[in-house]
A and B are shown apart, each in its own frame.
Chain A
């Protein structure tokens, strides 16, 4: 495989250098040549013409595939390249990738579509047009060759970037005809390959971005260096809603390397220095007085009380309603009731928030690890006080995203605000881990009261789920609210639909949400609302099965007749785990299923609890994502999902005291490590006909499968996360 250069970092720096003289001379020129990598690769000023927006083929046969979505570890870069390459019919070993910038996207009428990379949508919402981009390029390349030979294009064949016309024995390559192909009018009628004929897509190919990640040459945002660059460390008021009262810049201005001490908006202070470490050292020494504002006294207990009130509130927004739940509860042979809750969670991406920005009164450019280039561009323009056409954002591979780097670009605005203090000088702002823990956009806090009715045969006749708590949309995307209500809250509990439907037919059902928004800011956290909803629904289903004296699998399957895909993944996981067999001594099993992000997932966990300590030994996980684009990457996503989901379920919580988050670093926000990693066996069972996501759905079943196994082991129901707060020792 051809080593993938990092086009962005390379071209950014090269492009920047082209304008570095201009910086010194008043910074009047633009400072990056778009796709300068191309020019450099040619060793010439002229760029090789692109065949179309998605494909550039160099004379040396290198195939450059442009990727609009962001790579943050989930493998989207490779998956999207597979789709283009499949239709293009090129040699996979010659493929490299490149990110267009959002500024270029705007300038070209959004030719690359949406840049957003969240909600496990990177592939499932763009597969069609990127495949068409690859197919159109192939058709143009073939037509160019056919024209040259004076033969009908339909008689030409393509194999790994080589075009042949058998009758006349002629052969050429993509690289040789790319220039002519670029002049051909793009075809209108494009027929895509039948997935059963795929040779690149659907295969467990190696990632395109691995080699740089094993020798340290992969440049992340935090690693970026630009000529003349300074570094900034920043502190924002620890309490959301608070402000800076005063700070004593004089106290640190003489410290080594310090260039400037600046206020950042109403609520932040930054030190700009030659190195980050010197900036941070001075910032730590800087006397700052904060005004905590109206939220300075709020604690976790206050927030819990606010949510508890919502559990009983009269008013609630209905997400799923059928039959008459109250009637079913009144007529029940048995009523079961339980209250569950999940805390705030920080994304804790391995690479802390950072961005590098150059600002002048005429132009602003940012280098940012963002999940959404277009939203980043909008944030830069707004913070820069310039129109978007005078700004651009250069995307860099992310050291983890998990939802933190897509919907809110608070960190990027901050970096722009700081860079404005140093016109013409690139400034890299880096958050410390402590700053990152303190200023997350947290997994929303919710509580849920579950009430259900069983008849005298133990059949589930009614279910009321009252979710009380925080709305992500209300804070992050109020424009997506429906009449002031947040429909995303019901992820996985919707009555129907291709995205996130409940898998059970329950004759009387009510799912509603009492929105209660504390001051701590929420965000999309990998798996989003599907995570708590799966804990609530799937743990409670387990409670109901036990109350009915039935096997948890059999109890569920009875309710899943109308939901064959939900049922199939659950059955597959149960079969492979040997649900019907007795586990080894000391091992106990639990299971869960859910649908979200367009995919169906289920898991069986095998757990032991020894002296109160939980050990997860083995997990069997099944996924039906419709089409499986790269099975080995899906397997990696499934394995990673258990680490993310179980770290949260077992250990992690962000608690609030005096209005601020208490956890400061990985010592107080523990993450699962290798010693605890269970064996994960994945069943990838794409049933075709739809495209579901794979980066997030599995997280949802991690916690409930393990929680149900913990109950099987101990007889104790853990209903408030994380598990570590419950004493599981046997009396």
Chain B
């Protein structure tokens, strides 16, 4: 049994130690908001926070996470889509198919936690997630809107 602190709750999961954290989150913990896109740390669809830092969970064995490290997934980012990044995403209708978007949001939220007012150049170089639908313009605008704490209604 492996012990994890997931979205504020301590859970025990039955998984081989080398199982990627992504698959433990998706299968053993049943939280499917965190996505599989590549499995090799290329796309960022699997991004979660560990102690507030964005991590690509597909490439991290579950055994490398200690029980005291706090893992937060999209389901734990806010209870009601109220995180500024989520509000900005809803206001700008950022997602297309949406498959990459939970990872995008987690990466963006971690960026803003570390750098609340990133420049456009910083956003462009820090957010390296892949979106095949090509939502990048709105991702950029969404991070800027969240950083400003701007009007975030859905009109």
Chain A interface residues toward B at CB < 8 A: 1, 72-75, 206-207, 209-220, 222-223, 225, 231, 256, 275-278, 281, 348-352, 397-402, 430, 432-433, 632-633, 636, 639-644, 665-667, 671-675, 677, 679-680
Known A216-B31, A277-B20, A640-B133; contact A433-B39, beta-carbon cutoff 8 A: yes
Q: Is the CB of B97 within 8 A of A350?
A: yes
Q: Is the CB of A276 within 8 A of B23?
A: yes
Give the Cβ gap from A274 to chain B, nearest Cβ, in Å.
9
Give the Cβ gap from B140 to chain A, nearest Cβ, in Å.
6
- Contacting residues of chain B (103-155) with chain A, CB-CB under 8 angstroms: 105, 123-125, 127-140, 154-155
Question: Please, could you name 8 A-B residue pairs with CB atoms under 8 Å apart, sorted by A?
Answer: A211-B90, A213-B101, A400-B97, A636-B96, A639-B136, A644-B132, A666-B37, A673-B136
Partner of B97, one of A206, A397, A672, A677: A397
Interface size classification for chain B: 35 or more
Known A206-B93, A215-B74, A277-B20; contact A350-B130, beta-carbon cutoff 8 A: yes
- Contacting residues of chain B (31-78) with chain A, CB-CB under 8 angstroms: 31-40, 42-43, 45, 73-75, 77-78
Give the Cβ gap from B26 to chain A, nearest Cβ, in Å.
8
Partner of A220, one of B43, B78, B99: B99
Please name all residues of chain A whose beta carbon is closer than 8 Å to the beta carbon of B139 when the two chains form the complex: 674
Partner of A641, one of B77, B86, B134: B134
Interface of chain B, main secondary structure: loop
> What 4 pairs across the A-B complex have the smallest Cβ distances?
A216-B33, A643-B134, A73-B97, A399-B99
Distance between Cα atoms of A225 and B15 in the complex (Å): 18
Judged by a CB distance under 8 angstroms, whether B6 is at the interface is no
Please name all residues of chain B whose beta carbon is closer than 8 Å to the beta carbon of A215 when the two chains form the complex: 33, 74-75, 77-78, 81, 86
Distance between Cα atoms of A636 and B96 in the complex (Å): 8
Give the Cβ gap from A389 to chain B, nearest Cβ, in Å.
32
Most A CB contacts (10 A, CB to CB) among B89, B101, B129 go to B101
Q: Find the A residue at minimum CB distance from B41.
A: A667
Please name all residues of chain A whose beta carbon is closer than 8 Å to the beta carbon of B102 when the two chains form the complex: 213-214, 216
Q: Is the CB of B40 within 8 A of A677?
A: no
Most B CB contacts (10 A, CB to CB) among A213, A278, A397, A640 go to A213
Please name all residues of chain B whose beta carbon is closer than 8 Å to the beta carbon of A632 when the two chains form the complex: 93
Partner of B42, one of A220, A641, A665, A675: A665
Q: Find the A residue at minimum CB distance from B128.
A: A673
Q: Is the CB of B74 within 8 A of A673?
A: no
Q: Is the CB of A214 within 8 A of B131?
A: no
Q: Is the CB of A680 within 8 A of B154?
A: no
Judged by a CB distance under 8 angstroms, whether B30 is at the interface is yes
Known A215-B81, A216-B74, A674-B128; contact A351-B35, beta-carbon cutoff 8 A: yes
Distance between Cα atoms of A225 and B39 in the complex (Å): 21
Known A211-B90, A351-B97; contact A216-B34, beta-carbon cutoff 8 A: yes
Q: Is the CB of B130 within 8 A of A666?
A: yes
